A and B are shown apart, each in its own frame.
Chain A
Amino acid sequence: MIDRSDFIRRRYEMGNYFNKIIELFVKTTDVSTSSRDEFHRWLTGEKFSREKEKALQGLWDNIEEVTPAATSSQTQRSLDEVRKKIRQRHHKVNIKILRVWQVSAAVLLIALLSALYFTSNETPVNADLIEQYVPVAEMTHLTLPDGTEVQMNSTATLLYPAQFNGETRSVYLIGEANFKVTKNEEQPFIVKSNDFQVTALGTEFSMKVYPDETLLTTTLFSGSVEVRFNNMESSLILNPSEQFTYNKRTKEETISRPNLDDVTAWQRGELVFRSATLEEIIPVLERKYPYSFVYTVSTLRNDRYTFRFKENTSLQEIMDIIVEVSGNIKYRIEDNKYYLSPL
């Protein structure tokens, strides 16, 4: 057993409540379950999240990195296991196991890369970037430094600078969010994503760019926005009530006039599906509820369903209805997972 506290240098002890709590927790080797749970709840709680983040980064910085000479046999064993997993990954085709964290991992990766890339054009790379991440099954509302109001859906990530200094107000989004942009014609507000970006002056629009979905959308509620896509080579202007959809696989774009009530349903906690396949519905459920789904692709037919679920509907109620309506699948729940199989 390695004594973890050895990794933490003394300097780290000088701090405030937040550092002190983390330090005490690190020091307590056989912590009771109740204290551990309480610590975990505190750590992931919304209150003082910025201070906690700072303390966590301090903890991270103070864990030593290893020189190749000091490699332990434990690390070597882990490396062997990771190598094995890498090889297996390239063979797995049949069973699709979706795990929410994998998605969020991919999300963050893209976010990080792109954020660094985008910001490097305008401001120094180490300008203070703030990352707002919404965990599974939660929603967050935040106000940006310019007063712009953002409502974020589950598992979304938004990166934004502590101050908008440049010629534009650029933020980076993965996932779904609604923006009520504070008017400032001198400094356009730009939401970037991996496949397209939206420029607004003072307006309200929403954007949905989840990495695990093929169709990306942005919907304008008022004002006007410019959408740039296809590696920034194409652009078009949206009118109010119009929705821009971009298929990242075929690179095709379409403009439609959706039911705006459907587009904003998530902000009221509702779930709306319009002629959607189960394959499209499941990722949405996995974001909204802390469960994942396990199924073989052949279990899901290509039937299309239209559902509207009210706020606070439990996942079990939803699944009961889906099973009832589809008539060809059943489910069982085990360890936070829904196993789907043919009836």
Chain B
Amino acid sequence: MNTESYRKEFEEIFIQYFPKVRTFAAILLKSEQEAEDIAQDIFVKLWEQPDLWEGNLVRNYLYTMVKNHVFNRIKRKNLESKYIYSQINLHSLEEMTEFKDPLNEIYHEELQLLLKLTLEQMPEKRRQVFEMSRFGHLTHHEIAEKMDLSVRTVEQHIYLALKDLKKLILILIFFIKF
């Protein structure tokens, strides 16, 4: 392969896959800059590996590369920051959602994370109210005072938060069991 066609072929692969690699890294790391760095590094390396520039092979290769880069970044970061354990325990989760299932024990970590991420999807106020109620164990009255809301609004927030959570659980039950 001459230099010109070598370069051309590389660029075609770059254009086709670079955004995919960058997007995958960005989705998982939630950092555009880190994703860009990783994607660039991977393609700099790929330049020297023309044996891999073939459709399926390059796709699999890029997946493995980007996944390992992302994992390595995460592992390094995790070692830096101290582990803060989630305060949500399984019992309170079951209570909140009225979702009892023998599988809960097994998927404990997964359920916690799902709950946490679902809470993040909620409007800020709703989440705050809900957390004060279920994790801070404040009464509706206390929350109303703290947040400068009416008790009725607090109750409404909690009702809506629970609805969101139950919807999530329903989806899970449905797709796991049927």
Which A residues fall within an 8 A CB radius of B?
2, 4, 7, 14-18, 20-21, 24-28, 31-32, 34-45, 47-48, 56-57, 59-60, 63-68, 71-72, 75, 78-79, 81-82, 85-86, 89, 100-102, 104-106, 108-109, 112-113, 116, 131, 133, 135-137, 290, 336
Contacts and interface: CB of A to CB of B under 8 A. Distances in A.
A112 B172 CA distance: 35
A290 B15 contact: no
Interface in B9-34: 11-12, 14-20, 22-24, 26-28, 30
Nearest to B77: A40
A306 B78 CA distance: 32
Interface string B71-94: 110111111110110100000000
Contacts of B145: none
Interface of B: 11-12, 14-20, 22-24, 26-28, 30, 36, 39-45, 47, 49, 51-52, 57, 60-61, 63-69, 71-72, 74-81, 83-84, 86, 107, 109-111, 113-114, 116-118, 120-121, 168, 171-172, 175-176
22 contacts: A17-B176, A21-B117, A24-B117, A31-B30, A35-B117, A40-B74, A43-B74, A44-B71, A47-B109, A56-B67, A60-B20, A63-B24, A67-B16, A78-B22, A89-B44, A101-B69, A101-B72, A104-B72, A109-B65, A136-B75, A137-B79, A336-B80
Contacts of B71: 43-44, 135
B19 A290 contact: no
A16 B86 CA distance: 22
B114 A20 contact: yes
Contacts of A39: 113, 117
Contacts of A81: 40
A112 B60 contact: yes
A28 B45 CA distance: 32
B45 to A, nearest CB: 6
Given A39-B117, A63-B24, A78-B22, A16 B72 contact: no
Given A66-B17, A71-B15, 10 more contacts: A17-B111, A21-B114, A36-B30, A44-B74, A60-B20, A65-B17, A72-B19, A105-B68, A109-B65, A133-B68
Given A21-B114, A105-B68, A136-B72, A79 B16 contact: no
A26 B42 contact: no
Contacts of A336: 76, 80
Nearest to B82: A37
Contact of A66 (B11, B15, B24, B175): B15
A44 B75 contact: yes
Contacts of A47: 109
A251 to B, nearest CB: 22
Contacts of B14: 75, 79, 82
B57 A116 contact: yes
Nearest to A126: B56
A281 B114 CA distance: 43
B144 to A, nearest CB: 25
A326 to B, nearest CB: 27
A37 B85 CA distance: 11
A292 B109 CA distance: 32
Contacts of B44: 82, 85-86, 89
Closest 6 CB pairs of A and B: A24-B117, A17-B110, A40-B74, A85-B44, A101-B72, A63-B20
